[in-house]
Amino acid sequence: MFRLDSKIALVTGGSRGIGRACVEALARQGATVIINYVKGEAAARELSDQIVAAGGKAEIAGFDVADTAATESQVDAIIKRHGRIDILVASAGIAIDGLLLRLKDEDLDKLFNTNVRGSLTVARAATKSMMRSKWGRIIFLSSVVGEMGNVGQTGYAATKAALIGAAKSIAREYATRNVTANVIAPGFIDTDMTAGMTDPQREAIHKLVPLGRTGKAEEVAAAAVYLASEEAGYITGQVLRVNGGMYV
Ligand code: NAP
């Protein structure tokens, strides 16, 4: 089940964290995976080499998802090289925390340009080929805070909530082309993004999570593989929460 042989998958933010775990999991299921990064070329290349050495198929594509022209031309080039993109996991994202009163315009611009506009630009470019091949899977990475809010994360939470509305709309727009669009909303997952948390902050989060721990990137990647699979073909416009029960 959940095999992805002969599928072409693009994972934005695939060099680290959740995106990296998605790359590994999709490649294990047989997909050819294009690993996007913005700064982490060495990490992306190492991951790609590792997958190829294990008999899988992977390559790297560096571009800033907030740069629309670069994103469009790189996605077009991927489509030209491989004939199509079947699966998009839009994991590239940044967090800038701060109470609303202290949020600067430039912080909001960075957050929205990367997390929202970046995800939508890649999706717009990738769906061109999905419409032609009448098969596609779009998966956005939202967050538990996009649904429940969090003190000090007004800007970030707003971007993550926006992706839910976007995926639901894409789901409706592209359904007749057999393209599904879904969202994964992780809770607190151990990656570089959450590495800065202090021990007391971590303990406070554990208390909020019925399963009593933070999550692993691999646990989020398993959800991405499922949503990308043929077997998930009747699931669209949904939010799949991978959060240890923190928000139900
Ligand atoms: P992470 O460890 O900080 O990794 C971020 C990834 O995004 C890196 O691969 C980075 O590439 C890439 N990236 C950042 N800005 C980019 C840009 N402008 N263009 C292209 N790539 C860019 O983050 P993470 O924890 O894995 O989070 C992944 C996604 O899940 C994010 O959308 C995040 O909001 C969401 N999420 C995370 C958590 C969590 O607890 N970790 C919870 C809920 C949701 P470089 O290596 O090149 O810098």
What is the average per-residue pLDDT within 221-235?
98
> Both tokens of residue 164?
């839910």
Taking only the tens place, the pLDDT of each residue in 12-44 is 999 999 999 999 999 999 999 999 999 999 999
Mutate to test the pocket of ligand 1, among 35, 36, 37 (most ligand atoms within 8 A of CB): 37
Is 247 among the catalytic positions?
Answer: no
Taking only the tens place, the pLDDT of each residue in 41-93 is 999 999 999 999 999 999 999 999 999 999 999 999 999 999 999 999 999 99
State yes or no: pLDDT of 201 exceeds 90.
Answer: no
**Distance in Å, CA 176 to ligand 1 centroid:** 31
Residue environment code for 177-207, b if the CB has 16+ CB neighbours within 10 A, otherwise e: eebbbbbbbbbbbbbebbeeeeeeeeeebee
The predicted pLDDT at position 52 comes to 98
User: What are the beta bridge partners of residue 179?
Assistant: 136
Residue nearest to atom 12 of ligand 1 (CA): 13
